[in-house]
Amino acid sequence: MVMVKRVRHIIVLIMALAVTACGGATLMSEADEAKIGAEQHPKIIREYGGVYDNPKITAYVEAVMARIGQYSDRPDVDYRITVLDTPTVNAFALPGGYTYVTRGLLALADNEAELAGVIGHEIAHVTARHGAKRHTAAVGTAAVASVLGAVLNARTGIDSRATGDLLNVGSSAILAGYSRENEYEADNLGIKSMARAGYDPQAQAELLQSLAAFSAYKSGGKKPNANWFSTHPNDKARIAKAHEKANAAARGMSSLGQIGTDRHLQMVDGMVYGDSARQGIIRGRRFEHPTLALRFDVPRGFTLKNGAKRVTATHENQMQIIFDLDARTALEAPEAYLRSSWATGQKITGLQNLKVDGRAAALGTVKTQNGIAVLLAIDGGEKQILRFGVLAPRGRNSDAEAAMASLRRSIDFLTASQAARIKPYRLRVVTVKEDESVASLARRMRCHAGDKEKLFRVLNGLGPDDRLAAGSRVKLVTD
């Protein structure tokens, strides 16, 4: 009970120090903003799988950025925009004018005005200095944590290294995303900028609707849980407010705003959709990587997810599969790597040398804090090891072993001709014919995820009851 009272006292002290630190902080200079953006830029590119190498798309996005930047509240800022090679639907900006849109967002947008709305919104975060203010607040919180370490240790005996855990939620809330007020302000400023640039200001609200529809499609139509850590709050109230601000902006325009549907569709026609070959491609339960000349299947019940650094697969029974690469010395055999570099200092049971599709490999099991991990290291060439791990909670040892056995049997190293046949899906723009409908066109979609007709409607900004007019142009996902 005494310890509880001490901790309560410390929490009150945390709040008091945090308010003092943040309230007295000095906003960083614009030079510091530019420095932060430059430092974080290469990290962002690595985290999101690299830059999408498509000169046509790059020139298009840069032209829209230049036009919006010219009519922003800070035309003097050196805005830079990068298209990230990821199917994730996202856009964001760093302090200093570094702005990013993903390949996935370009696929979802229906026209140039919607792209302009996204860019205008992200530029507005820069001009309103939301990132600078958030960073300043976070630095203040970090300073509080440092001071509190000594206080906690002296008054409670709690190790100062635990201070970060006590403050973790507060720091995460600061860093996780902009506040709802920041988002509303960026919407308003972005709408004004795109209207001044001559775009239809309603396009921003229309893209917000498409984002909401895409989110519902990805979640299977389930209502998402309330989440304070959402980076882009997107609800009916925000969409309605965006329409309201767009109506006000439109009244000040001398002519109808540009939409740019034809140009946008021309630009995204042929663009990679979903996973790229560089990152490896998921097809149902199969993962294929042309550069690694590798494919494998996860067991039934697992759902694959691709990432810039690793591939994961999760099961509803809490089991998880992880695949990634690691560097090794030229002479380090898989068994030596598993013992000395991967499971360092841990007791490995069932350690054995074996072959996986003709390559040297080592297999073993270690205990984890919550269960076990079955580890498989495979010779990946002179400088790397291919790593497969099956993680399972307590009581599922046999399930983990069975999953690894199934995974191991599926691993296949490909010939050059087999690897060359691995191709990503593409976005294709087609003109609707007289006898075609949403249903008939959706059947042509070459995607494995979810309901094809729902995805077709989301990609083309169609409501559940909307029909197609002959002569209109739509986006399809094809080979």
Tokens 């972005």: give the residue.
190
Name the CATH superfamily for 286-413.
Mog1/PsbP, alpha/beta/alpha sandwich (3.40.1000.10)
Residue at 105: amino acid letter: L
**In this structure, what token pair is assigned to residue 8?**
């309560």
Helix (H) or strand (E) holding 44: helix 30-47
In total, the chain counts a number of residues equal to 479
pLDDT in tens, 118-132: 999 999 999 887 766
pLDDT tops 90 at residue 408: yes
Helix, coil or strand: residue 82: strand
Token pair, residue 70, equals: 């010219």
**For residue 21, is pLDDT > 60?**
no
Average pLDDT over residues 270-276: 96
Question: Given this model, what pLDDT does residue 164 score?
Answer: 34
Mean pLDDT, the chain, rounded, equals 84
Write out pLDDT tens, residues 317-327: 999 999 999 99
Work out whether strand 98-102 and strand 80-84 pair parallel, antiparallel, or are unpaired. Answer: parallel
Distance CA 16, CA 22 (A): 10
Tokens matching residue 98 = 């570094």
Percentage of residues in the chain having pLDDT higher than 70? 81
The answer, yes or no, to whether residue 368 has pLDDT greater than 60, is yes
Kindly state the average pLDDT of the residues 442-464: 88
- Crossing angle of helices 112-127 and 180-196, in 10° steps, is 120
**Strand order across the beta sheet in which 303-306 lies:** 303-306, 311-314, 320-327, 384-393, 371-379, 359-367, 349-356
Over residues 438-466, mean pLDDT = 89
In this predicted structure, the answer to whether residue 334 has a pLDDT above a threshold of 60 is: yes
Q: Supply the pTM of this predicted model.
A: 0.81
In contact, 93 and 304? CB cutoff 8 Å: no
Strand partners, 412: 295
Q: Is 467 exposed, middle or buried (0-12, 13-18, 19+ CB in 10 A)?
A: exposed
Sequence spans of domains, the chain: 30-131+178-259, 286-413, 424-478
Predicted confidence (pLDDT) at residue 380 exceeds the cutoff of 80 = yes
- Give 200's DSSP letter: -
